[in-house]
């Protein structure tokens, strides 16, 4: 094994990975030597250029494959088109916030489809590939909301609890094989999307940007610090290591103490 590139020769597919957490995980896996497949529902020149830049920076093969994670057939086709899947990172997700009695049906359906059902469809196709290769890692990006709840996020909380559940099922179905399934549960992560919301949040509450981060955005995160995409990626790399061979069917929280409350 190349200690500098422990994942050399492995192929990782990361859903929802042209920005944010997914992109951070893809970059960290590529840095560890994995060939990566990026994904989102768009098919822009920038998407393919992003894959090319990762390939050049880390000396791996990197591709971008368009697939809409709200559509079961496209979820499955993503894995099939990739042709190999040693590491599957189910990351794609969307959010909507509203009281239950006002929650739009179409938003509920979309969140369940993208945040939960897509992971079932990709895993169902990836598992035979992992078995044929004699090794595999399923890493589901859940959330602190997969372990606890907040008001007005009924679909998101339901989907993330479901992701934790399906992770356990996958782990039990592969328990006697060299395949593991685990869920990473981040709290608030400093992504470009979150960063862009800080000025508006500060303005809304009449606070400085630092006060808005500490008092509003990070209210439930005891560390009062954001997690980073690199930390999530590093955890994914660890779960792919031999040190994690007997870690399966569980959750790893990266939430600054949120779920300890």
For the annotated catalytic residues, the residue numbers are 156
d(CA 137, CA 181): 6
**Phi, psi angles (nearest 5°) of residue 185:** -115, 90
**Phi, psi angles (nearest 5°) of residue 56:** -70, -40
d(CA 44, CA 199): 29
Cβ burial, residue 51 (10 Å; 0-12/13-18/19+): buried
CB 245 within 8 A of CB 135: no
d(CA 237, CA 113): 27
Q: What order of strands is seen across the sheet that includes strand 62-66?
A: 62-66, 35-40, 11-14, 87-90, 136-141, 179-186, 251-254
User: CB neighbours of 132 closer than 8 A, spacing ≥ 6?
Assistant: none
Residue 39: enclosing H or E segment and its boundaries? strand 35-40
């Amino acid at each position: 094994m190349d200690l500098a590139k422990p994942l050399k020769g492995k192929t990782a597919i990361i859903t929802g990975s042209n920005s944010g957490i997914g992109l951070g995980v893809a970059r960290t896996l590529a840095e560890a030597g994995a060939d990566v497949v990026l994904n989102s529902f768009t098919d822009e020149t920038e998407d393919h250029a992003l894959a090319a830049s990762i390939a050049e920076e880390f000396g791996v093969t990197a591709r971008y494959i368009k697939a809409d994670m709200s559509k079961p057939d496209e979820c499955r086709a993503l894995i099939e088109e990739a042709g190999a899947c040693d590491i599957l990172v189910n990351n794609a997700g969307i959010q909507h916030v509203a009281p239950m009695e006002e929650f739009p049906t179409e938003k509920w359906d979309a969140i369940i489809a993208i945040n939960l059902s897509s992971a079932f469809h990709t895993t169902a196709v990836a598992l035979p590939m992992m078995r044929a290769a004699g090794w595999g890692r399923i890493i589901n990006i859940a959330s602190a909301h997969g372990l606890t709840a907040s008001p007005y996020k009924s679909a998101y909380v339901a989907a993330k609890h479901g992701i934790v559940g399906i992770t356990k099922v996958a782990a039990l179905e592969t328990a006697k094989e060299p395949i593991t399934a685990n869920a990473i549960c981040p709290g608030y992560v400093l992504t470009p999307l979150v960063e862009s919301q800080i000025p508006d949040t500060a303005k809304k509450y009449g606070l400085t940007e630092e006060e808005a981060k500490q008092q509003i955005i990070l209210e439930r995160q005891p560390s009062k610090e954001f997690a980073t995409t690199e930390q999530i990626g590093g955890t994914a790399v660890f779960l792919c290591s031999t040190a994690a061979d007997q870690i399966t069917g569980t959750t790893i929280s990266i939430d600054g103490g949120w779920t300890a409350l």
